[in-house]
């Protein structure tokens, strides 16, 4: 039991009228910061039915079938949502938009029976309130300005989304790079990541390089490139609407599903790529990359989708668009950028209680405590490098960050810094063949010999080699691993 002795001037929250025992609940004043969701994907596009320009949260493809009509041959978004949940997605925000292009409406011919005409007309009338208009245009997905609350800007009505997918306008028409530019700027504002599909005409490495360098990179503002990522090539999978005929689709839905699956299994700080980032349902790609082509595209910041024998189809890249023009950028990698967005959004929401509190040392200490508890929890999960918290992150909220001028203007500043864990893109394995048996020292059982520096002709000094007991390596000596 905790007994609190009232301080001088303390006023009881209730009136004591008679002798007895009274209980007072005392708040601990602790306001823990809770991590926000990182795997909510937003899809904007055409659907068979459902409310238009109204974001709706769904949790399965069954929800999409019930509300928006499921797979539809005129809806690229329906296939993207299907692939998203197929690859591990668990939460999606759907925005159905009505096309403002030309619409083709077919009516029954004169030779058809009266009953068929009335049935067809009644079916048309039942769908007329949910008619999606004509073909989609870029302006339908991303209007010219945010003041037009249509398309992606209707996401202002939703609380949070972390990934944005804009599937192609149709199966024969791609989205303009200027549209992706406005979408990337909006993602920067909402702390989200834009997944960009390759155009249909980009069927080989040279064409996707031309698209990136001549169209996409010049269109997207420099400040928004860190919130966008391009993937290549397109995926091929069986189309359930055409007796499982293998067809080509945009990869954004499947990629977003792998993002969400990786977040749930490993954390947002883990790169959503590698042999664990398998693309479920994908049979092959529109183009099969070799190692040389992959190296060239990866250098430009194009995330490749590859197929490996006995491994299947996987995502094999984790770079933002900023990773192309600025190789040393701090936002070069997708997991680093998404992890920073996660911390920003979580601390932003977890410290809103401080608004209108007294801006003094007591408030600063409470903010430091709450933020440190949140960061330490991430540290304990392996989100940061280092063996102790001081090597991984720091929090400052004091007279140095909040000056008297800040106090006079009603501002309190919290400085949060962290060291991210970057993905190991290049794993270098060095193997040396010994010239003779006398060059390898034998180790006693149960004992590891000290590291030995080895000189290799014309190759300089190789860092170390270890003789490990119980490991018969024959004439091949494993010397060192180097992670870059």
Torsion over CA: 120, 170, 288, 301 (sign): negative
The pLDDT of residue 454: 44
Ranges in the chain annotated CATH 3.40.50.11780: 41-102+129-336
Q: In the structure, what pLDDT confidence band is assigned to residue 288 with cuts at 50, 70 and 90?
A: very high
Helix (H) or strand (E) segment spanning residue 321: none
Quick one: CATH architecture of 41-102+129-336?
3-Layer(aba) Sandwich (3.40)
Angle in degrees, 0-180, between the axes of helices 61-68 and 76-86, rounded to the nearest 10 = 160
- DSSP label at 216? I
Handedness of CA 331, 306, 254, 423 (dihedral sign): negative
CA distances in angstroms from 1 to 4, 23, 430, listed in the order given: 10, 12, 63
**Tens digit of each residue's pLDDT (9 = 90 or more) over 119-177:** 333 333 334 345 666 789 999 999 998 899 999 999 999 999 999 999 999 998 999 99
pLDDT tens profile 360-419: 999 999 999 999 999 999 999 999 998 999 999 999 999 999 999 999 999 999 999 999
- Give the rounded distance of the alpha carbon of 196 from its chain centre: 12
Q: For 314-371, write each residue's pLDDT tens digit.
A: 999 999 999 775 667 889 999 999 999 999 999 999 999 999 999 999 999 999 999 9
Q: Is the pLDDT of residue 272 over 50?
A: yes
Q: Is the dihedral of CA 168, 173, 175, 177 positive or negative?
A: positive
What are the CA-CA distances from residue 398 to residues 362, 364, 365 (Å)? 10, 6, 8
pLDDT for 462: 43
What does pTM read for this prediction?
0.80
Task: Give the separation between CA 15 and CA 8, rounded to whole angstroms.
Answer: 17
Q: What is the pLDDT of residues 82-135, one digit of tens each?
A: 999 999 999 999 999 998 876 554 434 434 444 343 333 333 333 434 566 678
């Amino acid at each position: 039991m905790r007994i609190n002795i009232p301080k001088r001037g303390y006023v009881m929250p209730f009136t004591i009228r008679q002798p007895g025992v009274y209980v007072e609940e005392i708040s601990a004043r602790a306001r823990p910061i809770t991590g926000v969701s990182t795997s909510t994907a937003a899809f904007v596009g055409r659907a068979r039915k459902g409310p238009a320009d109204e974001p709706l949260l769904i949790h399965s493809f069954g929800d999409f079938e019930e509300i928006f009509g499921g797979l539809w041959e005129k809806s690229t978004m329906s296939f993207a949502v299907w692939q998203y949940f197929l690859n591990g997605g668990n939460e999606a925000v759907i925005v159905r938009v009505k096309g403002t292009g030309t619409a083709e409406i077919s009516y029954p011919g004169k030779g058809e029976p009266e009953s068929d005409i009335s049935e067809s007309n009644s079916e048309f009338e039942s769908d007329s309130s949910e008619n999606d208009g004509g073909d989609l245009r870029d302006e339908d997905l991303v209007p010219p300005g945010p003041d037009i609350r249509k398309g992606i800007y209707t996401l202002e009505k939703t609380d949070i989304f972390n990934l944005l997918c804009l599937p192609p306008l149709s199966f024969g028409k791609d989205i303009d790079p200027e549209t992706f530019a406005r979408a990337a700027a909006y993602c920067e504002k909402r702390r989200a990541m834009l997944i960009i599909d390759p155009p249909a005409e980009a069927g080989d490495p040279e064409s996707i390089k031309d698209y990136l360098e001549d169209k996409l990179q010049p269109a997207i503002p420099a400040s928004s490139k860190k919130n966008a990522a391009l993937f290549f090539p397109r995926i091929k999978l069986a189309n359930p609407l055409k007796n499982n005929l293998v067809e080509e689709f945009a990869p954004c839905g499947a990629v977003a599903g792998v993002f969400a699956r990786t977040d749930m299994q490993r954390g947002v700080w883990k790169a959503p790529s590698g042999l664990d980032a398998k693309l479920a349902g994908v049979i092959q790609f529109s183009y099969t990359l070799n190692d040389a082509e992959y190296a060239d595209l990866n250098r430009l910041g194009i995330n490749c989708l590859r197929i490996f024998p006995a491994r299947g189809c996987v995502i094999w890249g984790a770079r933002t668009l900023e990773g192309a023009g600025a190789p040393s950028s701090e936002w070069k990698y997708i997991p680093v950028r998404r992890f920073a967005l996660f911390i920003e959004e979580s601390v932003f929401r977890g410290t809103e209680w401080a608004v209108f509190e007294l801006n003094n040392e007591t408030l600063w200490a409470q903010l430091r405590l709450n933020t440190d508890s949140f960061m330490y929890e991430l540290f304990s999960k392996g989100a940061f490098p280092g063996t102790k918290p001081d090597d991984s992150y720091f929090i400052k909220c004091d007279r140095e960050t909040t000056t008297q001028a800040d106090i006079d203007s009603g501002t309190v500043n919290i400085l949060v810094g962290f060291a991210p864990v970057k993905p190991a893109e290049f794993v270098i394995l060095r193997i040396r063949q010994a010239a003779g048996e006398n060059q390898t020292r034998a180790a006693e059982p149960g004992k590891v010999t000290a590291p030995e520096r080895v000189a290799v002709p014309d190759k300089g000094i190789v860092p170390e080699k270890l003789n490990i007991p119980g490991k018969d390596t024959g004439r091949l000596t494993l010397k060192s691993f180097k992670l870059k």
